[in-house]
Chain A
Amino acid sequence: MTNVSNPVLAVRGLSKSFGGVHAVADVNFFLDAGELLALIGPNGAGKTTCFNMLNGQLPPDAGSVKLQGRELVGMTPRQVWRLGVGRTFQITATFASMTVRENVQMALISHHKRIRALWRRTGDHYADEALALLDRVGMAEQAERACGVLAYGDLKRVELAVALANEPQLLLMDEPTAGMAPQERIDLMALTAGIVRERSISVLFTEHDMDVVFAHSDRVMVLNRGELVAEGSPAAVRADPLVQEIYLGAGSTFGSDEQPAATTTADAAAGGTHA
């Protein structure tokens, strides 16, 4: 475990079971300021459940989540958001009956506590800020299109712009590149990395594409069946035999005689994304 004196996020003993199944079991980690931390693991490992507990969507059975020393457990998602935690979802959640620009404007309007304004048109609120954010994620040309008709990859970009609207210090991105073509994934993650570096935002993200993970994360954690099984620099994690087993299965050329139990996870190995 990295020794961080003043982490942005400190997670201790986080656990959640669904009817006896330990979706997340005693997870501990820190996230440093400006750090890009990847959380990887096969489908069903508990990544989304973990995210849902971090932003208050799901109450943990046990554990603590501290944002700069402040306990988040027990808060609602909207309270967590007000503290500067942006979230993107594995399955995008946008306002389909609004334009791309209006989606971002809604986040800005909420950030500035103007949701109950009765008179001035929504379109006239924070339009420039919204366009600037959209420009930053490469969506400015599509600002006036309805979110209901966008391609999936574009929706992911809109979500990123929305998540940036309240000047967050922490972004939680659940599979930000799911459903994209390989080149598009690399581009989006490069874009994200650029944005968060220039604003020194910390990021916790999950990702299936190992190329993306190894290219853009500062540190990688591996979750398997709810438990953190490895953690370290991308290179170290890549070299970890246990991780290779989880990801590549027992037939891997690296050999795996020390960890015979790992064969059972081979069928659940990574690759696909949730529908």
Chain B
Amino acid sequence: MGFYFAQFLTGLASAASLFLVASGLSIIFGVTRIVNFAHGSFYMLGAYLAYTLVDAWQAGPFGFWGAVIIAAVAVGFIGAAIEFLLLRRIYHAPEMFQLVATFGVVLVIQDLTLMIWGAEDLVGPRAPGLDGAVEIFGELVPEYDLALIVLGPAVLGGLWLLFNRTRWGTLVRAATQDREMVGALGVNQSWLFTGVFFLGSLLAGLGGALQVPREAVSLLMDLNIIAEAFVVVVIGGMGSIPGAFLAAVLLGEMNAFGILIFPQITLVMMFLVMAVVLVVRPWGLLGKAEAAARPPSGAAEPPLRVAGGMMRWLAMGGLAVLLLLPFLTDEFTLVLLIDIMVFALFAASLHFIMGAGGMVSFGHAAYFGLGAYGAALLIKFLSMPMELTLILAPVIAGIGALAFGWFCVRLSGVYLAMLSMAFAQIAWSVVFQWYEVTGGDDGLLGIWPSEWASDKTVFYYLTIAVCGGGIWALRRILFAPFGYTLRAGRDSALRVDAIGIDLRRHQWFSFALAGMFAGIAGTIYVFSKGSVFPDEMSIPRSVDGLIMVLLGGVQTVAGPVVGAASLTLLEDFISRLDYWRMMLGAVVIAIVVAAPQGIAGAFLQLIPARWTGREETA
């Protein structure tokens, strides 16, 4: 009995931090409609800053709490500055651009943190005055946990007062309901947004700072918390603070007790709960159903055109060059080219559902990884030949996408993005935690191609055949009724329904198909590297895919190939430098702000229409 109660208290204590982070995310989303990926980075910054300040002012309890508060406020200012400098420019951009831009911020903050605090995990001191434990029903409960248990509801109450008893809070609530109306009231909207960012970031920083006595401060904190915070916000209902509280407590308790029953799958359980909630109540436990989805921004995409003569010749010429390259270059270049082709197929498969389907998946790496791990496991445990795994592993990825996709296509916009990311995190955590089968963090090694394909040049040609073939097939499908139906659903769900098409089902199949093609890329990838690690399923890999599509331009069919080549070359070049993540982040941010139609998109606008077969739109 006493043990379970203590466990219950532990759950409540861990809910406190989670609630702080999630409520900040929720407030920011409610008003600005931006899903701020960098919110986890604010949490991490709060922890690092608090660590340093606590270290400096260790004398007395005031020092600790003072440090926590100053760290939180500092993070609030950092958030406001980022809003002011960057996000303000992209409020009207499509959701995906915003998500990717905030991910650019994640990369920059990650490297800045590494630069300032180093790569070592930092273990902070206990909170002075609260470093003991209290006996409750015969079990020892840390005093600091009890303080957090009180703090969570206290912050909830404070936020309630702020939003219901102050003019500023009333404005924020009004803006959450109707942004245009606030503009009409003559309120300075941009300062309202900056203020909201300040508050939201401060809450994230506070959540991070409060964790210092409980866990080591590390560079993994940002992505670990952001996935959890997304889950909390989605379960609680986007924009609902009491919902975030309820969901945080739910997850906190689930973790506390889940660890007793299924220690292996606590992460999985969390995402499963989210999936169930999203299917039963898509707007979350305490959220309100969105009145109407955001109308697609920007002008309609021009119709697809079969490539004109010039483009065909370009493609043929490119292929000829690829085929001749082994005679002209060294093995290093071939390895790089294999990477490019693998990621071109990966990006093309993401582009398929994103461009034609308007479904922005933030977890597409799951299917890349399923293909890679599928192939590795088939070889390890069933000693299957490479040829067979090349067929079966993509099927495994496709089945995974079929299972996850069933849930994802029930949602749209940011909800879909978050759910797809949650599923990718499930896949990642299974691979990461299931050491006996997947090797966990150590990965699976020694996955080499069959004898005949083990020569790099031969494997290079195999890659051209498989990845090139995959891209070509995707392109065919895009031009065929299957792809057109997907586009039709993106253009007008109402009309699609009125001509007898089950859109959700078609989106589901498309999602699975895209997953299968991502799996093909993953399969080739694992044979080209000889090994696979959980990183292949992680959030950064998913975001890589998004950046490639974005670099190439969402509205161009050739975009993903251009984007994959650009990003792979860029990463190859800068990853030899220190702090390359920061540079990559800066590049991503610059592209979102300066060239939203992507490289291929910008290029297409420069060359005459008759070369590309495009019709000039009026």
Question: What is the interface of chain A, defined by CB distance below 8 A to chain B?
Answer: 55, 57, 76-78, 81-82, 87, 89, 93-99, 102, 106-107, 109-111, 114-123, 125, 144, 146-149, 162, 165-166
Contacts and interface: CB of A to CB of B under 8 A. Distances in A.
Interface in B287-304: 299-304
A148 B491 CA distance: 10
B502 interface: yes
B484 A122 contact: yes
Contact of A78 (B483, B497, B509, B618): B497
Contact of A122 (B301, B481, B497): B481
B303 A115 contact: no
A87 B496 CA distance: 11
9 contacts: A93-B495, A94-B491, A107-B499, A110-B499, A111-B499, A118-B477, A120-B481, A123-B306, A162-B499
B494 interface: yes
A107 B497 CA distance: 11
A192 to B, nearest CB: 18
B480 interface: yes
Interface string B424-449: 00000000000000000000000000
A149 B615 CA distance: 12
Given A55-B498, A94-B495, A122-B479, A115 B617 contact: no
Q: Sort A-B residue pairs by CB-CB distance and give the 4 closest, nearest first.
A: A148-B300, A96-B300, A93-B495, A97-B301
Counting chain B residues whose Cβ lies within 8 A of the other chain, the interface size class is 20 to 34
A122 B480 contact: yes
A78 B485 contact: no
Given A97-B301, A146-B617, A119 B476 contact: yes
B485 A115 contact: yes
B476 A102 contact: no
Given A95-B491, A115-B482, A116-B509, A149 B617 contact: yes
A262 B492 CA distance: 40
Q: Which of A81, A122, A144, A165 has the most CB of B within 10 A?
A: A122
A153 B306 CA distance: 29
B315 interface: no
Nearest to B356: A97
Contacts, number: 119
Interface in B176-230: none
B500 interface: yes
A96 B501 CA distance: 17
A97 B303 contact: yes
A116 B497 contact: no
A77 B480 contact: no
A148 B555 CA distance: 15
B506 interface: yes
A110 B506 CA distance: 12
B499 A165 contact: yes
A94 B492 contact: yes
Contacts of A125: 481
A57 B497 CA distance: 9
B488 interface: yes
A93 B506 CA distance: 19
B481 A148 contact: no
Interface string B468-492: 0000000011011111110110111
B491 A117 contact: no
A267 B302 CA distance: 43
Contact of A109 (B304, B481, B509): B481
Contacts of B299: 148
Contacts of B615: 144, 146
Interface in B602-618: 615, 617-618
A102 B484 contact: yes
A121 B480 contact: yes
Given A95-B491, A148-B299, A114 B498 contact: no
A118 B301 contact: no
A229 to B, nearest CB: 29
Contacts of B491: 94-98
Contacts of B497: 57, 76-78
Contact of A146 (B300, B485, B498): B300
A106 B499 contact: yes
Contacts of B476: 118-119
Contacts of A162: 495, 499
Given A118-B476, A146-B617, A98 B303 contact: yes
Given A95-B487, A97-B300, A148-B299, A117 B480 contact: yes
A148 B479 CA distance: 19
A94 B481 CA distance: 16
A269 B141 CA distance: 73
Which interface residue of B476, B500, B506 has the most chain A CB atoms within 10 A?
Answer: B500
A107 B498 CA distance: 9
Contacts of B302: 97, 146, 148
Nearest to A125: B481
A184 B487 CA distance: 31
A89 B492 CA distance: 12
Given A78-B502, A122-B480, A106 B492 contact: no
A95 B500 contact: no
Nearest to A115: B485
B481 A95 contact: no
A116 B299 CA distance: 28
Given A77-B497, A78-B502, A115-B501, A98 B492 contact: no
A123 B492 CA distance: 19
A106, A107, A114, most chain B CB atoms within 10 A: A106
Interface in B580-618: 615, 617-618
B481 A116 contact: yes
Nearest to A56: B497
A77 to B, nearest CB: 5
Nearest to A88: B498
A121 B306 contact: yes
A144 B500 CA distance: 24
A149 B303 CA distance: 11
Contacts of A93: 492, 494-495, 498
A81 B501 CA distance: 9
Given A97-B303, A166-B500, 4 more contacts: A97-B490, A114-B481, A116-B481, A119-B477
Nearest to A81: B500
A239 B299 CA distance: 48
A98 B300 CA distance: 9
A144 B502 CA distance: 27
A82 B499 CA distance: 8
A118 B482 contact: yes
A115 B480 CA distance: 9
B288 to A, nearest CB: 15
- Most A C-beta atoms less than 10 A away, residue of B306, B498, B615: B498
B489 to A, nearest CB: 9
A141 B337 CA distance: 47
Contacts of A77: 497-498
A106 B484 contact: yes
Contact of B500 (A102, A110, A147): A110
B300 A120 contact: no
Contacts of A110: 485, 499-501
Contacts of A119: 476-477, 480
A162 B303 CA distance: 18
B498 A106 contact: no
B71 to A, nearest CB: 48
B481 A98 contact: no
A50 B450 CA distance: 66
Given A146-B617, A148-B300, A98 B498 contact: no
Contact of B487 (A94, A97, A144): A97
Interface string B488-525: 10111011011111100010010000000000000000
B388 to A, nearest CB: 23
A213 to B, nearest CB: 24
Contacts of A146: 300, 302-303, 615, 617
Contact of A166 (B304, B482, B499, B618): B499
